[in-house]
C-alpha cells in the first residue's frame, strides 16, 4: 500500500514512523499523524512524501516533534491541533488551519475526539532563528470512531496524574517514551503502565540516537509479570491493527 492510501476497515491501524511519529488510519478512513518528524534517522523510506493527511496533532514544539508538520499540512491541507502558542507559530508559517488547544481541552472532528493531557517536560518552539518560549508540552488521548482509545503521552517524565488519565479515559493502548535522558526510561515507563492500567503498550522515543538507549526488552523486564505480555514491539514502518 502506498503512503497515504486509504483502506476500508473497522479497526485502527497504527504505524510507527520512528521516534515519536505515528500514523493512524481510522475506521472512518481518516489519516491522522502525531508528531510527524518524518525525516528522523529511523523513519521508513518515503515517509516524508506522504500523499494525504486529514488531521495532525503536535505534542509540543521541539524540532524532533514539530518536524515536517509545516510541509505536510501545506501539501495535504490537513488541520493541525497543538497547544495554543504552537498554533500561533504555525499561523505565522502560513498554516491557517492550525487550531490552538490547551490542557484538558477536547476537539471532536468527524467522529474522532482528542483530549489534550498534561506532560512533564520542557516547552518552547524550535525555530530557524532560535527557541521561542511559552509553549507547554502535552499528550493526547484519542477516541476513534469505533470507540478504541489511544493515549500518546508525548515527551514526558513520570507523573502521578497518569493514574487519573487511566481512570478517566481508560485507554486501550498507551504509547509511552522509553528512551531515557530526555524522557522516561523503561523503569519509569513501567510504573506509568501500572498507573494507567495499560491493556496494550507501545514504546516510542527510543533508538533514534545512541543516547536514547531504553528498549522494549528493558521495559518488559521492569514491568510486573502480569503486564509483560501486553508490550508490543514495532520496527519503524511496521503497523499494528487494533480493534
Distances (CA, A) of 142 to 26, 148, 155, 193, 207: 11, 8, 16, 17, 25
| Residue 219 phi, psi (nearest 5) | -60, -45
Domains and CATH numbers, the chain: 12-232 (3.60.15.10)
Closest CA to 144 of 120, 103, 114: 114
Strands (E), the chain: 12-16, 22-25, 31-34, 55-57, 79-83, 98-101, 106-109, 112-117, 125-127, 130-132, 139-143, 149-152, 173-177, 201-204, 231-232, 239-242
Q: How far apart are the first and last CA of the chain?
A: 20
Q: pLDDT digit string (tens) for 200-222? A: 999 999 999 999 999 999 999 99
pLDDT averaged per 10 residues, the chain (length 243) = 53 98 98 98 95 97 97 97 97 97 98 98 91 92 98 98 98 98 98 97 98 98 98 98 93
pLDDT at position 8 is 52
Closest CA to 29 of 174, 146, 114: 146
pLDDT at position 2 is 43
Closest CA to 89 of 124, 114, 116: 124
**Rounded Cα–Cα distance for residues 81 and 240 (Å):** 24
Q: pLDDT digit string (tens) for 99-108? A: 999 999 999 9
Amino acid at each position: 500500500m502506498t503512503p497515504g492510501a486509504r483502506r476500508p476497515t473497522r479497526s485502527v491501524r497504527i504505524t510507527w514512523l520512528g521516534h515519536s511519529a505515528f500514523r493512524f488510519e481510522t475506521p472512518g478512513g481518516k489519516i491522522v499523524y502525531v508528531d510527524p518528524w518524518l525525516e528522523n534517522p529511523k523513519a521508513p523510506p518515503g515517509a516524508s512524501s506522504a500523499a494525504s493527511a486529514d488531521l495532525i496533532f503536535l505534542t509540543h514544539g521541539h524540532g524532533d516533534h514539530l518536524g515536517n508538520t509545516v510541509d505536510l499540512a501545506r501539501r495535504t491541507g490537513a488541520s493541525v491541533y497543538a497547544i495554543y502558542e504552537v498554533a500561533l507559530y504555525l499561523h505565522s508559517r502560513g498554516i491557517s488551519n492550525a487550531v490552538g488547544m490547551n490542557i484538558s481541552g477536547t476537539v471532536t472532528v468527524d467522529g474522532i475526539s482528542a483530549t489534550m493531557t498534561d506532560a512533564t517536560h520542557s516547552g518552547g518552539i524550535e525555530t530557524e532563528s532560535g527557541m521561542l518560549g511559552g509553549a507547554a508540552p502535552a499528550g493526547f488521548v484519542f477516541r476513534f470512531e469505533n470507540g478504541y482509545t489511544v493515549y500518546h503521552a508525548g515527551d514526558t517524565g513520570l507523573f502521578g496524574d497518569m493514574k487519573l488519565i487511566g481512570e478517566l479515559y481508560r485507554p486501550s493502548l498507551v504509547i509511552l517514551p522509553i528512551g531515557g535522558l530526555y524522557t522516561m526510561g523503561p523503569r519509569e515507563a513501567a510504573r506509568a503502565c501500572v498507573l494507567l492500567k495499560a491493556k496494550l503498550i507501545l514504546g516510542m522515543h527510543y533508538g533514534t540516537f545512541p543516547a536514547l538507549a531504553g528498549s522494549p526488552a528493558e521495559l518488559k523486564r521492569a514491568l510486573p509479570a502480569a503486564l509483560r505480555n501486553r508490550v508490543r514491539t514495532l520496527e519503524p514502518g511496521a503497523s499494528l491493527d487494533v480493534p
